[in-house]
Homo-oligomer: A and B are copies of this chain.
């Protein structure tokens, strides 16, 4: 009975550090955030972080993994429950992506804010994680019925770029992530007045 309680408490601690780190990485970037900043935000001393994470890069990696996990789970679930229409599937994926990204989850924002080059020691892992997640959009875009002269890669990267830019300008009151996703997809399907 006491063991699970302990585990829970320890998990809470770890969670708390991860959350504080994620928030600070988003706000000031990886290089602009110090272990002391993270410790202070957590109410600990900086040495104490090292009981939970071996290094700053390991901490970043954990944050990044959690962000990728949240995004992946959301998109996977959206695709699993979405109908067959290719454009609707893309919109479902976009909506899932934006929902996680804009609902205040700092984890997901770290994934699109911190570039692998920011942490040379973790570069390879960060790239692998990001690619592994983005593969989903590869699949979905490939299924779209497009005119032959449309470059599917450009379309995919365009959508990803547009979506990953949203944390910079998004304001909660104005539009929901779902509405944004609809806008994005509709724009991609054609916005010109006839």
User: Which chain A residues have a beta carbon within 8 Å of chain B's beta carbons?
Assistant: 27-33, 87, 113, 115, 117-120, 145-147, 150-151, 154-155, 157-166, 168-169, 175, 180, 183-184, 186-193
Contacts and interface: CB of A to CB of B under 8 A. Distances in A.
A187 B32 contact: no
A173 to B, nearest CB: 14
Q: How many copies does the complex hold?
A: 4
A160 B117 CA distance: 22
Contacts of A164: 161, 165
A160 B165 contact: yes
Contacts of A32: 30-31, 117-120
A153 to B, nearest CB: 8
Contact of A192 (B113, B117, B189): B189
Contacts of A168: 115, 161
B120 A187 contact: no
Contacts of A87: 192
A191 B27 CA distance: 36
A115 B175 CA distance: 23
A120 B24 CA distance: 13
Contact of A29 (B31, B154, B160, B162): B31
A84 to B, nearest CB: 16
Contacts of A154: 175, 180, 183-184, 187
B145 A157 contact: no
Contact of A147 (B30, B119, B150, B193): B193
A30 B27 contact: no
B190 A190 contact: yes
Contacts of A158: 162, 165, 183-184, 187
A180 B180 CA distance: 23
A165 to B, nearest CB: 3
B146 A191 contact: yes
